[in-house]
A and B are shown apart, each in its own frame.
Chain A
Amino acid sequence: MATQLQLAPAPLRTRVRRNRLRVLLFLAPGLVGFAVFLVYPLVMTVWLSFTNSNMISQAQFVGLRNYRYLLDGDPLIRHAIRNTAWLVVIMVPAQVLFALGVAMVTARLKAGASVFRTLFYLPALAPPVAATVAFVCMFNPNSGPVNRILGLLGIHGPLWFNSPDWSKPALTLLALWGSGTMMVIFLAALLEVPAELYEAAELDGAGPWHRFRYVTLPTISPVVLFATVTGVIAGLQYFTQAMVASQVANGNIQPAPGYPDGSTLTFPQQLYIAGFNQFHAGYACALAVVLFVVAMAFTVVLLRRASGFDIEESPR
C-alpha cells in the first residue's frame, strides 16, 4: 500500500476500488474458466458418484453403492489398480533415474554437447500415439528389429506387447525413450550447481560418489522432487500409450483395452470404459473421485516441499 500511495495522488478508497476492478478485469477469463471448467465439473463428479447416472435418463441417488462396487464387485478394478500402481512405483522412478543419468552424462560432455542435447530431447516431442504405434512395430516378436538384434546377441526375445509379463516393461521402455523433458529440467539444474562447491569438495578429498551424494544431490533435490511428483501425477493419468499399444498389438478392429490379459488396463482406462462404453457414468465418477483424491495428495506433497513454485516470493 505504502508504495502505491506515493505513486498515485487520488483518494485511497477510489484507488482501492479501481485496483480491485483492474484485477478483476485481468482475471475475468481465468475466473470464468475456473468456475465452469473446474469447480462446476468437480462438484458434479462428486454428486454423480452417488447416483446411478447413465448419461441419458434422470440420475437417482444411490448412496455409496458405486463405492461399494468399486471395493468388491468390479471384476476389472483389481487389474486397473495394480497396473497403475506398477506404473507409478516402477515406471516413474525408472524414468527419473534414467533422465537423471542421461542429464549427468550430457552435463559433462564437451564436444557436441548441444547436438547431443537436441537428439536426446527430440523423442519427447513425438506424438504419444505415433511413438506407441512405432514401438509396437519395433517390438513385434516376428518382424520387429528389437528381437532380431537380441537374437544376434544370442537372446531369445520375449513377446513384448503381446505378453502379459512384458507389456508393462515395453511401455516403460517407451517412457524412457520419451523422457527428454525431464532430462532437460535435470540438465538445467545440474548446470546451475556452483562450481566452487565441487572444488571445495575435491580439496576435502571427496571422490566422484561423495561429490554426487553431498554436493549434487542436495542442490538439485527440489528439482528431482518436482519431476518425481509431476511424473507420478502423469503416471496416474496414464492412458494413451496403454490404450493404443493394446489396440495395435491386438490387431483386432474391436478395441481391446488391457490386452494382453488385462496387463495394460490402467485406472483411467477403466474409468473411460465404465463411462463411455458401458455408460455407468455414476460408477465412472466414483472412480474419478478416487483418482482426484490420490492426485491431490501428491500435489500437496509437491507444494509443501518443492521450491520450484516459490509461491511466497513477491515480484522484485
Chain B
Amino acid sequence: MTTTYAPAPARQTRAASPHRAERGRAGRRRQLIWIAEHAVAVGLACAFIGPIVFIFLTSVMTDGQSLTTSLWPHHWQWSNYRTVFSTAPIGTWLANTVIYAVAATATTLLSSVPIAYALARLRFKGRNTAFLCVITMMMLPPQVLVIPMYLMWARLHLTGTIWPLVLPSLFGDAFSVFLLRQFLLTVPEDYLNAARIDGCGELRVLTRVVLPMMRPALVAVGLFSFFNAWNDYYGPLIYTGETPAHWTLALGLATFKTSHAVQWNLTMAATLIAMAPVIIVFFFAQKAFIEGVTLTGVKG
C-alpha cells in the first residue's frame, strides 16, 4: 500500500492524534526525570546523613583505628561511651545542660504567651511600635549587649552560674513572642468574641479558649527554646567560662578534644551524646517542629 505524505504541522499531529510512540517517548522522558530527581535526592540524603553515621562509627572504634582513615570499626568498642564519662565530667555538664534547657523553656513559655496574645489580639495604641521592638530584639546580635549585661550580672554576683542564662527568659523571649503572635493571628476572632460575649475576661479568653487551640504553637516554641538552650555556646562561655563545674555540654565539648583526650573516638562519642537527645526528640515531635519553622518564614 502506498501512501502519499502530506507533511502536517508537527503541532497539529500531536494535538489531534497522540501516537503511541510519541506518548511512549514522553512517558520515558518523564520516567527519566523521575529517576534523576530521586537519584539527586538520594545523593543529598547521603551527604546530609553521612556525617552523623561517621560520628557514630568513629565513636565505637579503638583509639588506634580512630587515627587512621578507615571508616568501618574493626572492633566495636562500646566501652568508649563509659570511658567518656570517666575522662571528663560529662555527667555534670549533661545535668547542667538539662537544667538550663528545661528552665529556659518553662520561663520562655510562661512569659511569652501573654505578650504574644496582647500583640496579636488586644487593641491598643502603639501596638505596631511594640511589635517593631520585638523584631528589633529578635534581630539584635547578642554580642552588641554582652559587655553591660556581663557587668550587670557580675554586680549581682551571678556570673559563674546559669542564672544569667535563664532569668532573662522570665521577661519574654523575642523569637518566641514573634512565633506565637504569628500563630495567634490565624485564630478566628469569632471564637474569642463568643467567649467575650459569654462574659469572659481577656485572661479567661486566653487560658480557656486560646491556650487549648495553641497547642501546636506551644509545642513548637517549647522545642525551639529547649534546643536553643541545649545548643547555646556563647551564653555559657560568657557567664560560666571560668567555672567548669557550671559548664554545659556545648562548652565542655568544645574543650574536650584538646584538654581531656586526644582520641577522636572518645571525642566523637561525646559529640554523639550531645546530639542524641536532639535527634531523638525531633523524631517524636517532627510535625510540630516543621510547622514552627514554616510559620517563621511565611506569613502567619
Contacts and interface: CB of A to CB of B under 8 A. Distances in A.
Interface of A: 4, 7, 19-20, 22-23, 25-27, 29-30, 32-34, 36-38, 40-42, 44-45, 48, 53, 55, 102, 105-106, 108-112, 116-123, 125-131, 133-135, 137-138, 140, 142-145, 147-148, 177, 180-181, 184-186, 188-189, 192, 223, 226-227, 230, 233, 236-237, 239-240, 243-244, 247-248, 250-253, 268, 271-272, 275-276, 281, 284-285, 288-289, 291-292, 295-296, 298-299, 302-303, 307-313, 315-316
B101 to A, nearest CB: 11
Given A128-B231, A143-B264, A185-B293, A288 B146 contact: yes
A7 B195 CA distance: 12
A275 to B, nearest CB: 5
Nearest to B97: A127
B7 interface: no
Contact of A134 (B51, B121, B146, B172): B51
Given A7-B196, A105-B40, A244-B233, A189 B298 contact: yes
B257 A251 contact: yes
Given A29-B171, A105-B44, A137-B58, A303 B49 contact: no
Given A111-B38, A130-B253, A188-B298, 18 more contacts: A7-B197, A29-B115, A30-B171, A45-B144, A105-B41, A123-B52, A128-B231, A133-B254, A134-B271, A148-B69, A192-B298, A223-B298, A250-B258, A272-B146, A275-B150, A292-B141, A307-B299, A308-B298
Those 3 A-B pairs whose CB atoms lie nearest each other, nearest first: A33-B171, A185-B297, A44-B148
Contacts of B254: 129, 133, 243-244, 247-248
B144 A291 contact: yes
Contacts of A7: 193, 196-197
Given A105-B37, A123-B52, A291-B143, A189 B274 contact: no
Interface in B116-150: 117-118, 120-124, 128, 130-137, 139-150
Contacts of A44: 147-148, 151
Interface residues of B, number: 106
Contacts of B134: 30
B143 A237 contact: yes
A137 B264 contact: yes
A142 to B, nearest CB: 8
Contact of B297 (A128, A143, A226): A226
Main secondary structure of the interface of B (DSSP, over half): helix
Interface stretch (B15-23, B81-89, B214-222, B278-286): B278-286
Contact of B144 (A22, A147, A180, A295): A295
A284 B147 contact: yes
Given A33-B168, A237-B141, A310 B147 contact: no
Interface in B32-90: 34, 37-38, 40-41, 44-45, 47-49, 51-52, 54-55, 58, 66-69, 71
Nearest to A276: B238
The interface centre, meaning the residue of A40, A145, A303 with most chain B CB atoms within 10 A of its CB, is: A145
A296 B244 CA distance: 35
15 contacts: A30-B118, A37-B171, A38-B133, A41-B149, A45-B144, A45-B148, A111-B38, A123-B52, A127-B249, A223-B297, A233-B141, A240-B234, A247-B254, A284-B147, A288-B144
Nearest to B41: A116
A110 B30 CA distance: 12
Contacts of B268: 134, 137
Contact of B71 (A4, A127, A145): A145
A127 B128 contact: no
B188 interface: yes
Contact of B124 (A23, A184, A223, A313): A23
B180 to A, nearest CB: 12
Given A130-B253, A188-B297, A122 B149 contact: no
A203 B77 CA distance: 62
B267 interface: yes
A140 B45 CA distance: 22
B254 to A, nearest CB: 5
B274 A129 contact: yes
A27 B118 CA distance: 7
Contacts of B45: 116, 119-120
The interface centre, meaning the residue of A123, A186, A281 with most chain B CB atoms within 10 A of its CB, is: A123
B146 A275 contact: yes
A122 B282 contact: yes
A305 B132 CA distance: 14
Contact of B188 (A138, A307, A316): A316
Contacts of B297: 184-186, 188-189, 223, 226-227, 308
Interface string B228-268: 00110110001001000000011101111111001010011
B61 to A, nearest CB: 11
